[in-house]
Structure 1
Amino acid sequence: MDPIGTSCFSLNIEENARAILEEKKQDEKFQEIIVSCRSLSRYEGKKTKTLVPQLVAASLAALYHLVVGISLAYSAILLPQLREDKDFNLTKDEESWIASIIVLTVPIGAPIGGILMDMIGRLNTVKLAAIPGIIGWTLIATAHNLPMMLLGRVFNGFASALGTGPAIVYLTEIARADMRGSLISLAPAYTSFGMVLVYAKGWVMNWRTVAWLSNIYTIVPCILIMFIPESPAWLVSKGRTEAALESLNWINKYQPQPENRAESLAELQLAALQKEHQKKMESEALNGTGIVNRIKDFMKPTGYKPLIILVGLFFFQQFAGIYITLFYSVELFKEVGSTMNPYLASVLLGTLRCLMSMVNTYMLRTFRRRPLIMTSGVGMAICMCVSALFTKWIKEKQTDMTWVPVLALAMYVVTSMIGLLSIPWTMTAELFPIEIRGIAHSFTNGFANLLMFFSIQSYYSLCHLLGGVSGIQYFFAIISIGGAVYSYVFLPETHMKKLSQIQEYFIHNTMYLGQKKKPTKRSSNGRKRISNKDIVKTNDKSQNQVLLT
C-alpha cells in the first residue's frame, strides 16, 4: 500500500476509533443515569433546581413519621398526668404496659405493611395507615379505663408500623443515589421533631387535648401525598407503563435533555426499569421464590451469622436505656433530682436528638461503623455514670449541682446518636444478601421491637431491683460498655465494603476479632503476589516509594 493510502487508512482507523470511543463514553454516561431502579435520577444536572421535585416528594412522603414520633414519646407526658387523673388508678405494671405495648404491634404491622405496599402501592399504604392511627388517637382521647387506653396504643403502634416502611421504600426508589442517604434521614428527623412537639404540648396541655390534636398530624400527611406521584418502580412492576412515565416526568421535571439522545431522561429510566423488572421475573422463574428457598438461604453462613450478630447488637442497644429514657423522659428528669422543669428538659433532649439525627447522616457517610459504635458505647457509659453519681449525691444532699444530671443525660443522647442508636437499624441493609434482605429485615426488626418491649416493660422492676434511678443508670452504663466490647469482638466492618466482600467474610468468619484473612495468591514462581490493595503507601518523604516483589 502506498504511503498516501496507508496514511488515509490510518486516519480512518483513528477516526473510527475516536467515534467508537466517544459512543462508548456516551453509553457509559447514560448507563450511569439509568443503572438502577433504586436510583432513578442519577444525572449530571448539578443545579439545585433539578433536585426540587425529589426534595418535595421526599419531604411529603416522610411527613408521616411526625406522628410516629408523637406516638413513641406520648407515654412520657401521659403517665405523669394519669397519676393525677381521677378516672385512672394505675399500678406500676399497668403504667409499663401503657408505655411498652405500642412496640409489641410492630412485628405484626411491619410485615402486613410490606405485603400491602407491593399490592396497592407505597403511597396508598401510607394513606391506609391513617385509619388505625385515627382510631387509636380517638380511643386514647376518650379513654376512661385501662383497656381503652391499651387498645388505643395498640392501634397507634399498628399504624406506625404500617406507614413507616412504605415511606422509606418510596424514598429509596425516587431518590438520586448521591442524595439517598440525606433524603432517607428526613424520616428520623421528622420522628425526632414529633417527639419535641409532644413534649412541648404535654408541658402546657392536657393529655386528652394532645391526643385529639395528634389526629391532625395523622390526616395532613395523607392529604399532602396526594400531590406527589407513586413510585415508578412499583408502577412498572404492575405493568402500568404510562403512569410510570408520568411519574418519571414529574420527578425529572427540571432535568436537562440528555445530549445526543432523542429520548428524554424519563424515557431512558423507564426503559431501564422495564429491563430490570424483566430480569427479576426471569430470575424468579429460574430460581423460584418459595419459602423453602428462603429457608435454605438462611441456613447458609451468610444468612444465620449476620442475624445472630444483629440480634445481639440490638440487645445491647435496647437495654442500654436509649428507648427507656425516651418513653419515661419526664419521670426520669423528676427522679434524677433536677430542679429544671421536666417537660422543658424533655423538649431540650428531643431537640438535641433531632439535631443529632441530621449530623448522624454525615457521620455514617464519612466514618467506619465499628469505631462509631464503640465510641458511642463508651461515651454513653461515662455519661450515665456521671448522671448516676450526681443523682445519688443530690438525693443525699451532698451537692446542689442539680444541672449536672441533665447535662450528662443530654450528652448521653448525643453519644447514643453517634452509633449505638442509629447504626444497628441501618446494618440490616448492609449485612444480608439481597436474596433474603427483605425477610431478614423483617425478622431483625421484629426481634428488635420485642427486645424494646421487654426493656421498656422492665423499667420499674429494674428500678426496684437496683435501688432506684441511680442504680438503673449504672446498669445502663454496664450494658453500654458491653455493647462496645461486643462490637469490637463480633461486628464486621461494612463501611465502603462491597456486598461480595461481606458475604465472603461470613463464609469464613464468625468473630471479627481474630478473623481469617483471605489467602494471598502466589505467582507461578512461588513468590507472593501483592495486589493493589496490599500496596502500602507512606507519607514519609524518605520512603515515598511503592515496594513490589
Structure 2
Amino acid sequence: MSATSGPKNPFNVEMKKDRRLRLFIQVLMVMGASLGHSAIAIIAAFPNPAITDLRKDNTTIYGNAMPLSTWQMDLMGSLVAAGTMPGTLLGGWLVAFIGRRTCMMMLAAPYALSWSLVAFAANPTVMLIGRFLSGICYGVTTVAGSTYIIELPDLPIRGALAAIPTIFFGLGLVLTVGCGMVMRWFAIPFVAYAVMLLCCVIMYFLPESPTYLVVAGKEDEAAEILKDLRGPDADIQQEIKSLQDCNGGKADEPVWRLLLQRDVVRLLAISMVLFFIQNFSGLNVMYFNTTRIFLASGSTFDENLATILVFLLKLGGTFVAIYYLDRIGRRVCMILSLSIMAACLFTMGTYLTMGTYLHIKDNSAEPNATISSNASASDLLEQTDAPDSQEGKTNEYLPLVCLTVYMFASCIGAHPVPWIISTEYFPTIIRGQASSLCVMVCSLFNFAVLQLYTPMQEALTMAGLYWFYATVSILGVFFCLVFVNETNQKAVG
C-alpha cells in the first residue's frame, strides 16, 4: 500500500536510523530558513555598534561628519518598528498568495536597497529612510519565515524546531556587535546583506510549505513533499484530509469575515496581548539599546564585550527552550520566563535606586556639592567615581549579571512563545493574514516602547523604568495563567 494513500502501512515501518536522518534533514531545512531571523537580528542590533562607533568617530563612508542627536538615536530603533507594520501586512498577503518559500526568496532586492541607503548615507535623514525600509523587510521576513518554520516539522519536534529561529536571532545579535568591534558602522550593512542573500539562495533549494500547497489546491505536490518529510509509515492522505477539513468551506469566504469570527477574534486578542507583554517587559528595548542601557547602569565594563556576553547568554536560554518547549509546554515556559525577567528587572531598579541614594548621601557631606532635583539615577551614577572598596567592585557585576540572566530567561519563553502561538493558533486559510495582524500590532508596540525609551527614562528615572517593565512582566504571568491555551502537541491545521 502506498505511503501517500490509505491507512498506515504496518509492513513499511520506518527504522530508527532512518527517522533520525529524516528529522535531522528537517532541522537543516529549518536552520536554512532561520537565516532570515539572523538577518532581522542584525537590523535590530545595528544601533548598538553604530551609535558606539559614531560617538568615537562620527564620520560616514565618505569621510564627512554625521552627528546624531538623542532623538535620532531613538529613531534608529523605532523607525524599524514603524516599517515593520506595513511590512507585516505585505508579508501576510504575500505568503497567502505566492507561498512562504517564494516570499522569502524575493526579499534579496529590498534588503539590498535598504542596507545600501544605510551604508552610503551621508546624513542622518538618508540613514533613517534606510532603517524604515529595513523595517519593512523585517516585517515580511518575520511573517514568511515564522509561518514556514511552524508548518514544516513533524508534530513531536515542532516546538523544539520553532525555537531554532531564536538561536539564529541570537547569533545575528552577537555577529552584529562582534562586527562593530572590528568594523566601521557603514561596513556592517554589507555583512547583513550577505546573510540575507545566503538565506535566499538556500530557500531556492528547499520545498514549499506542504500546508500552503494543500490550501492552494496542489494536493499531489503536497503529498510528494509530505512523503519525504513524514517518512514511509506516515498517513499522508489523512494529514492532507485534516488540512482540507480544517480549511474546507472557508476558501470562498472573504478573509476579513473569517478574521472577524468570534473564536478568531479571541485568539487574535490573546496573541496581541502576549506581544504587548513581550515589548513592554523591555525585551526589544534591550535588543536595540543594550550598550546604551549597560552604560546607563553605571558599570565600568567595556560595553561591547558586555553586550556580546549578554547576547551569548541569550543563546543559552534558547537551547533550554528547545529542550523544554515540547516537554512542559509553551504556557509554562512563558510563565517561568516572565517570572525570572521580573526578578531581574526589579533587582536592577533597586540597584540604581541604591546607587542614587548613596551618591546623594556622599555629596550631602560636601558643602559645595550640587545635586539636580531632575537628575536620573543613570545621570548620578555617571557622575560618580568608581569606588575603591571591594563592595563597589563587586557591585559592578550586578548590572551584567541581571542583564545576562534577563536575556537568558527571555529566550525560555517571552521571546519565542508569542511568535509560536501567533501561528499555531490559526488555521492555514487565514494563518498568513492573522499572523501578519499580530506582528503588525507587535510592531506598533515595538515602535511605542522604543520611541518612549528616552521620555520614560526622564519621567520615571532608569530605576522607575525597570520597575515598570517588571510590573508588566508580573501582570503577564497572571495573564498567561488565566487566558493562554496550550498548543503543545496539537496539530497545525
Indicate whether the TM-score tops 0.5: yes
Question: What is the rounded CA distance, in whole Å, between the counterparts of 2:475 and 2:191 in structure 1?
Answer: 41
**Residues 134 and 437 from structure 1, CA distance in 2 versus in 1: closer, same or farther, beyond 3 angstroms?**
closer
Question: What is the rounded CA distance, in whole Å, between the counterparts of 1:138 and 1:442 in structure 2?
Answer: 26
Question: What is the rounded CA distance, in whole Å, between the counterparts of 1:168 and 1:355 in structure 2?
Answer: 21
**8 Å Cα contact 1:53-1:250 kept in structure 2:** no
Question: What is the rounded CA distance, in whole Å, between the counterparts of 1:313 and 1:174 in structure 2?
Answer: 24
For 2:38, the aligned partner's letter is L
**8 Å Cα contact 2:215-2:428 kept in structure 1:** no
Q: Report the equivalent of 2:186.
A: 208
Q: Report the equivalent of 2:23.
A: 51
Q: Report the equivalent of 2:250.
A: 284
Q: Report the equivalent of 2:419.
A: 425
SS of 2:325's partner is helix
Q: Report the equivalent of 1:103.
A: 81
**8 Å Cα contact 2:92-2:433 kept in structure 1:** no
Q: Does 1:366 align with 2:358?
A: no
SS of 2:186's partner is helix
For 1:420, the aligned partner's letter is A
- Per the TM alignment, residue 195 of structure 1 is displaced from its structure 2 partner at its CA by 0.5
Question: What is the rounded CA distance, in whole Å, between the counterparts of 2:269 and 2:219 in structure 1?
Answer: 41
**Residues 495 and 54 from structure 1, CA distance in 2 versus in 1: closer, same or farther, beyond 3 angstroms?**
closer
CA RMSD of aligned residues (A): 3.4
Question: What is the rounded CA distance, in whole Å, between the counterparts of 2:488 and 2:31 in structure 1?
Answer: 27
Q: Does 1:476 align with 2:476?
A: no
For 1:104, the aligned partner's letter is A
For 2:448, the aligned partner's letter is F
- Per the TM alignment, residue 249 of structure 1 is displaced from its structure 2 partner at its CA by 6.3
Question: What is the rounded CA distance, in whole Å, between the counterparts of 1:182 and 1:242 in structure 2?
Answer: 29
Question: What is the rounded CA distance, in whole Å, between the counterparts of 2:330 and 2:223 in structure 1?
Answer: 38
**Residues 415 and 185 from structure 1, CA distance in 2 versus in 1: closer, same or farther, beyond 3 angstroms?**
closer
**Residues 416 and 295 from structure 1, CA distance in 2 versus in 1: closer, same or farther, beyond 3 angstroms?**
closer
**8 Å Cα contact 1:233-1:273 kept in structure 2:** no
**Residues 479 and 122 from structure 1, CA distance in 2 versus in 1: closer, same or farther, beyond 3 angstroms?**
closer
**8 Å Cα contact 2:326-2:488 kept in structure 1:** no
Deviations 1:264-295 (A, max 9, x none): x7xx73x557656765785236xx41246325
Pick from 144, 152, 160 the counterpart of residue 174 of structure 1.
152
Q: Report the equivalent of 1:491.
A: 483
Q: Report the equivalent of 2:53.
A: 81
Taking the TM superposition and a 5 Å limit, the aligned residue runs for 1:213-228 are 213-228=191-206
**Residues 385 and 367 from structure 1, CA distance in 2 versus in 1: closer, same or farther, beyond 3 angstroms?**
same
For 1:441, the aligned partner's letter is S
**Residues 437 and 387 from structure 1, CA distance in 2 versus in 1: closer, same or farther, beyond 3 angstroms?**
same
Q: Which moved more, 1:53-62 or 1:432-441?
A: 432-441
Q: Report the equivalent of 1:517.
A: none
Percent identity for Structure 1 against Structure 2: 26
Q: Report the equivalent of 2:99.
A: 121
Question: What is the rounded CA distance, in whole Å, between the counterparts of 2:468 and 2:295 in structure 1?
Answer: 19
Q: Which moved more, 1:109-118 or 1:345-354?
A: 109-118
Question: What is the rounded CA distance, in whole Å, between the counterparts of 1:173 and 1:321 in structure 2?
Answer: 29
Point out where structure 2 has 5 or more consecutive residues left out of the alignment: 60-64, 356-380
Taking the TM superposition and a 5 Å limit, the aligned residue runs for 1:296-311 are 296-297=260-261, 300=262, 302-311=263-272
Q: Report the equivalent of 2:70.
A: 92
Question: What is the rounded CA distance, in whole Å, between the counterparts of 1:387 and 1:235 in structure 2?
Answer: 49
**Structure with higher RCO (Cα < 8 A, 6+ apart):** 2
For 1:474, the aligned partner's letter is W
For 2:258, the aligned partner's letter is R
**Residues 275 and 492 from structure 1, CA distance in 2 versus in 1: closer, same or farther, beyond 3 angstroms?**
closer
Question: What is the rounded CA distance, in whole Å, between the counterparts of 2:132 and 2:246 in structure 1?
Answer: 37
Q: Does 1:190 align with 2:141?
A: no
Q: TM-score, normalised by structure 2?
A: 0.80
Question: What is the rounded CA distance, in whole Å, between the counterparts of 1:427 and 1:124 in structure 2?
Answer: 23
Deviations 1:224-250 (A, max 9, x none): 232333334444555667755664566
For 2:346, the aligned partner's letter is C
Question: What is the rounded CA distance, in whole Å, between the counterparts of 1:280 and 1:496 in structure 2?
Answer: 18
Q: Report the equivalent of 2:177.
A: 199
Q: Report the equivalent of 2:122.
A: 144
**Residues 150 and 52 from structure 1, CA distance in 2 versus in 1: closer, same or farther, beyond 3 angstroms?**
same
The structure number with the bigger radius of gyration is: 1
- Per the TM alignment, residue 163 of structure 1 is displaced from its structure 2 partner at its CA by 2.4
**8 Å Cα contact 2:150-2:423 kept in structure 1:** no
